[in-house]
Structures are given as structure tokens and as C-alpha cells.
Amino acid sequence: MIRHVVLFRWKPDFDPTEWFAAVRGLQHKIPEVKELSLGADVLHADRSWDAAIVADFDRIEDVAVYTAHPEHQPAVELSRAGAEQIISVDFELPEDAR
């Protein structure tokens, strides 16, 4: 299983309400997404980012399907419009962590 983690740092004037709504439904629209969670940072520490997505996929190829999927594109566009920075990491979950 592959875990896909993306962190967002929003521009100061960006309201992420529409972004959260666009991302929230993706698990039910894209079959390759096995689990998806997202949320806004609650700690607000100096090292904190503003929001995160954590999504699980069976295979690394499924991450590419998700990335290119038409249902994902509105969220991508909102991310590009509102984010100052976006970082991501994709890693394999060990069998005992699933």
C-alpha cells in the first residue's frame, strides 16, 4: 500500500473552504483512492503548514491515476491558485501498518 501525503501553505488572502469541499468527495469519485483524510492545522506552530491530505492507494500507479483523474482537477486548480507552497511525499506502508 502507498501512502500519499501533501501539505499546503496558503497565501494570506486565500479562503480554503471551496478547496476542502472539492477534496472531501474525491474518495467516492475516484475508485483508486482507498482512504482519504484531510484537515486544517490546529497547532499553528511556527513549523506548521496550513492543511494536509493523506490518501492511501493499493499501488504506486494508482497515485498517478488519481493525480490525472478529471474529478481531481478542480482541487488541483484551487490548490495552485491558493497555495504559496505545496510539498508531498509518497511512501510504502509496511504490511504490519495496514
Global pTM? 0.92
Cell of 59: 499501488
Q: Cα(98)–Cα(35) distance, rounded to whole angstroms?
A: 11
Domains in the chain, start-ordered, CATH in brackets?
2-97 (3.30.70.100)
Helix/strand/coil percentages in the chain, nearest 5: 35, 35, 35
pLDDT tens figures, 39-94: 999 999 999 999 999 999 999 999 999 999 999 999 999 999 999 999 999 999 98
The CB-based long-range contact list for 75-78 (8 Å cut-off, 24+ gap) reads 75/19, 75/22, 75/23, 75/26, 78/18, 78/19, 78/22
